[in-house]
Copies of this chain bind each other. A is one copy, B any other.
Amino acid sequence: MKSLSEIRRAELRRAAFAVLQQQGMAGATLEKVAAQAGASKGIVLHYFRNKQEVFEHAMREANAQLMESIVLRMRQARSPQERLFAIIDGNFAEHFFQPSVCQGWLSLCAAVPHDKTLARIQRVIHARMRSNLVSALKDLVAAKDIEATALGITTLIDGLWLRRSLQGERFTRREALEQMEDYVRARTGLALGLADAFRQASP
């Protein structure tokens, strides 16, 4: 049983992230967040202490959406290799790997160095991503290479998100998945088949 208050808070933090996607941090005002949620500005500050808190929850919201995408795939995974696939593929889900979403995310990243709470949230997010990857890689690469490989994968993911932000539709999901595939193959010898959906026919 969700309290009404919880429902509203969820609506608002989703609205906050939506505004971030369209306007970036610079254009992200409380009034716009309220408008996006179809409410008045007062309501936003009724549910959150201040502007900072609003966008802290927006970051949690964005990450929750990403995790949902990953967990969904993770449930189907039966082997370490499939779990690795799930984590990576989840980061490039079609409805998520969109220019606007990436831009919203980038706006939050840019704010991390100037907001202690955002930094804490970011740390938690990164730790979980690393932990998931390490666990999946345990049986796939040599023990001494696990950490570096996990870091490499998250870093490349971040880089691809950034590129999507900067280039929009000119940088495609397909290119991103091919980059990930190449990287994993080059470093682990595994063929995950991340970009298979784009292949013409099987060779």
Contacts and interface: CB of A to CB of B under 8 A. Distances in A.
Interface residues of A, number: 41
Contacts of A178: 148
**Copies of this chain held together in the complex:** 2
A156 B152 CA distance: 8
A26 B114 contact: yes
A159 interface: yes
A27 interface: yes
Contacts of A152: 156, 179, 182-183
A183 B179 CA distance: 12
A175 interface: yes
Contact of A26 (B26, B160, B163, B179): B26
Given A26-B111, A109-B110, 11 more contacts: A24-B113, A106-B106, A109-B162, A152-B183, A154-B159, A155-B159, A155-B163, A156-B156, A156-B159, A183-B186, A186-B186
